[in-house]
Structure 1
Amino acid sequence: MKTNFQFLIIAILVLVASCGEKDELAAKKEELAKMKKDASALRLAIENLEKEIGSLDPEFGKQNRKSVLISTIQPKVGHFEHFIDVTGSVLSKKNVSISGEVSGRVQEIMAIEGMRVSKGQVLARIDAEAIQRNIEEVEKQLELAAVVFEKQQRLWQQQIGTEIQYLEAKNRKETLEKSLASLRTQESRTSVRAPFNGTVETVNVRLGELVQPGTPMFQFVGESDLFIEADVSERYVGIVTKGDSVEINFPSINQTLNTKVSAIGAIINPNNRTFKVEVFLPNIPNVKPNMVSVLKIKDYENPNAVMIPNYLILQDTKGDYVFTVDENLSKKRYIKRGRTYKELAEIVQGLDGSETLVDKGFREVGDNFNVNITN
């Protein structure tokens, strides 16, 4: 019984000690929160007081303000160029549809799509059996007409027979000669040939198919007289003109060349609000029709421009501005920018190129901030 009582006394003492510790911890937490609140209020009061003193004493504001670590750059003064970047496609003025000139069935097709051929090379043959039979018939008639004419000519030279008989024999012979020449021309046209050096784009006929004069058989693209065509936004109407300098890059062959705008479209496409621009393309190796190209058309240049990186330009309700450095103080200077190309902005008002601009840290400074310049 005595032992149970002792255990009870010990448990009560432990419980009282635990409650005491919890009360002490809570008191410390409450005291810490009160001190933080007082410190926050004190800091706010200090900042407000510094601002009030700084407004009354500018020298105090400069001395009391912390320095911001920055780097600086100089504006560039020189030749500024602006380009319009558009995608174009290589085309050929010798993009033609080759058609049959005589009637008949397709007897042989030698050309295949993508095949490069030379001028005069046979692409297909049309059955010429009927024409050949006509030729044989006319040749036999011509043999007889030639014999009759020769005999009639000898008789006429001997003043035997009439003049009309001589003229009729001569006329028949000449008529048959012309008919034979016409038939042989038709026979030659049964062979469909390439009109110039180029590439067969598409084959539109099949073996054994019946074709008529004018039936499209091949789509053919020449290798010369190439040009580039591109669609340019209508906002550049009047800006892009014939003769403008153009830099062309072919990404697939990693080749660049300079040329000029050779023609400007006269209408606006209502579907995409663009107009056509044609660029002259000299004969260069490895450039093929339908190849993709990137065009840089120069639409503006200034030989004496002041230029700065575009990312340094900030904006507020009054307009664009940058920060300059003057006697270790950052100065807010309003500017007027012109055109921007490749992250480089042309400044047309506000800078003359002699200023020192805040570069790294330009978002951390303000007007009349102390700055510490580092390399």
Structure 2
Amino acid sequence: MKTNFQFLIIALLLLVASCGEKDELTAKKDDLAKMKKEASELRSSIEALEKEIAQLDPEFALANRKAVLISTIKPTVGQFDHFVEVTGSVLSKKNVSISGEVSGRIQEISAVEGMRVSKGQVLARVDAEAILRNIDEVQKQLELAVIIFEKQERLWNQQIGTEIQYLEAKNRKESLEKSLATLKTQESRTLVKAPFTGTVESVLVRTGELVQPGTPMFQFVGESDLFIEADVSERYVGIVNKGDSVEITFPSINQTMSTKVSAVGSIINQNNRTFKVEVFLQNMPLVKPNMISVLRIKDYESKEAVMVPNYLVLQDNKGDYIFKVEDNTSKKQYIKRGKTYREITEVLEGLTGQETLVDKGFREVGDNFMVNVAQ
């Protein structure tokens, strides 16, 4: 009984001690929170007071301004080229529609879309049965006419018969020869052939279909005389001219070539406010009609240009400016901007190329800010 009482006393003492420790910890946390709040209010008061003093005393503001950590770069001096970039499509001067030349029903179509064919290769065959029957008939008539003419000629040479009989026999033979030649020409035209080496773009007829002279049968594109056609904005009228250098890139085959503008359109398209530009292509085996290309036409160049990255050029109500570094201080330098191409801007006035410019950190600095250049 005595032992149980002792245990009870010890438990009560431990409980009291634990509560005391918790109360002490809570009090410390409360004190810390109170001090942080007071410190924050004090910092705010200090900053507000510093701003008020800085407005009244510029020297105080300059002395208490913290240095901004920056990195620097130099302007680039050298060749600056500006290009007009447009997307064009490869076309062919030999883009033709092949039509039927005789009447008849299509017996066979040997060409399919996308098929590459050589000059003279047969693309389709039209029924020539009627023409062949006419040829047989005329050939028989011609055989008889030749026999009659030869006999009449022998008699005429012997001074037998009249000249009229001789001339009629001769005319009959020659007329039948011309008719036979015409029919054979028509027979040859029942074979629709490729006019030059190229690719069958589309097949416009089907086997068994009846065609007439002039009926479109195939859209055919040659592989020679290729050129690129592109639409250029009208704001480049007078800037992009025939003979200008142009660099052509074919993204699909990852090839590039350099050439010159071969023709410039003289009409503005009222729908998209552009004019046509043509560039003839040299022989490039992998380049095909309708392939997409990117044209870079040089419209401006400067041999000794001062250049800076685009992102460094800022602007206010006075104009364009950039920050340079002098005596560990950032200085606002106004410039006259020239042309911009991709990520580079040409500077016409305001920089000589010898300045040190603020690079990283240029948005954190201002005029007459103290700076610390990172090494």
TM-score of the superposition, structure 2-length normalised?
A: 0.89
Which residue of the partner structure matches residue 135 of structure 2?
A: 135
Which residue of the partner structure matches residue 96 of structure 1?
A: 96
Of residues 33, 36, 44 in structure 2, which corresponds to 1:40? 44
Structure 2 residue matching 1:213: 3-state secondary structure = coil
Alignment deviations for residues 187-221 of structure 1 (CA, whole Å, 9 cap, x no partner): 11110100000001111111111110000011100
Structure 2 residue matching 1:268: 3-state secondary structure = coil
Alignment of 1:75-224 (within 5 A): 75-224=75-224
Alignment deviations for residues 140-171 of structure 1 (CA, whole Å, 9 cap, x no partner): 11111111111111111111111111111111
Q: Cα offset for 1:34?
A: 5.6
Alignment of 1:253-264 (within 5 A): 253-264=253-264
Give the Cα separation in 2 of the matches to 1:24 and 1:179: 124
Which residue of the partner structure matches residue 357 of structure 2?
A: 357
Give the Cα separation in 1 of the matches to 2:237 and 2:304: 26
Q: 1:184 to 1:252 in 2, by over 3 A?
A: same
**1:326 partnered with 2:330:** no
Q: Cα offset for 1:28?
A: 8.8
Which residue of the partner structure matches residue 367 of structure 1?
A: 367
Give the Cα separation in 1 of the matches to 2:145 and 2:264: 62
Structure 1 residue matching 2:262: 3-state secondary structure = strand
Give the Cα separation in 2 of the matches to 1:281 and 1:195: 21
Which 10-residue stretch deviates more, 352-361 or 36-45? 36-45
Structure 2 residue matching 1:259: 3-state secondary structure = strand
Give the Cα separation in 1 of the matches to 2:126 and 2:253: 40
Q: Cα offset for 1:293?
A: 0.9
Which residue of the partner structure matches residue 49 of structure 1?
A: 53
Q: 1:304 to 1:30 in 2, by over 3 A?
A: closer
Q: Cα offset for 1:36?
A: 4.2
Q: 1:256 to 1:31 in 2, by over 3 A?
A: closer
Structure 1 residue matching 2:271: 3-state secondary structure = coil
Q: Cα offset for 1:175?
A: 0.8
Give the Cα separation in 1 of the matches to 2:213 and 2:29: 107
Q: 1:31 to 1:170 in 2, by over 3 A?
A: closer
Structure 2 residue matching 1:160: 3-state secondary structure = coil
Q: 1:79 to 1:25 in 2, by over 3 A?
A: closer
Instruction: Report the residue type matching 1:44 in the other structure.
Output: A
Q: Cα offset for 1:112?
A: 0.8
Q: Cα offset for 1:126?
A: 0.7
Alignment deviations for residues 265-322 of structure 1 (CA, whole Å, 9 cap, x no partner): 2222222222221111111111110111111111111111110000001111111110
Q: Cα offset for 1:237?
A: 1.8
Give the Cα separation in 1 of the matches to 2:209 and 2:31: 104
Alignment deviations for residues 90-109 of structure 1 (CA, whole Å, 9 cap, x no partner): 11110000011111111111
Instruction: Report the residue type matching 2:361 in the other structure.
Output: G
Q: 1:142 to 1:29 in 2, by over 3 A?
A: closer
Structure 2 residue matching 1:277: 3-state secondary structure = strand
Which residue of the partner structure matches residue 4 of structure 1?
A: none
Which residue of the partner structure matches residue 313 of structure 2?
A: 313
Alignment deviations for residues 227-270 of structure 1 (CA, whole Å, 9 cap, x no partner): 11111222222221111111111111110001111112222222
Q: 1:308 to 1:175 in 2, by over 3 A?
A: same
Alignment deviations for residues 6-42 of structure 1 (CA, whole Å, 9 cap, x no partner): xxxxxxxxxxx9xx99999989977865664344223
Residue segments in structure 1 that go unaligned for 5+ positions in a row: 1-16
Instruction: Report the residue type matching 1:259 in the other structure.
Output: T
TM-score of the superposition, structure 1-length normalised?
A: 0.89
Q: 1:23 to 1:165 in 2, by over 3 A?
A: closer
Give the Cα separation in 2 of the matches to 1:307 and 1:364: 22
Give the Cα separation in 2 of the matches to 1:32 and 1:73: 42
Instruction: Report the residue type matching 1:151 in the other structure.
Output: K
Structure 1 residue matching 2:282: 3-state secondary structure = coil
Residue segments in structure 2 that go unaligned for 5+ positions in a row: 1-19
Identity %: 71
Give the Cα separation in 2 of the matches to 1:325 and 1:23: 53
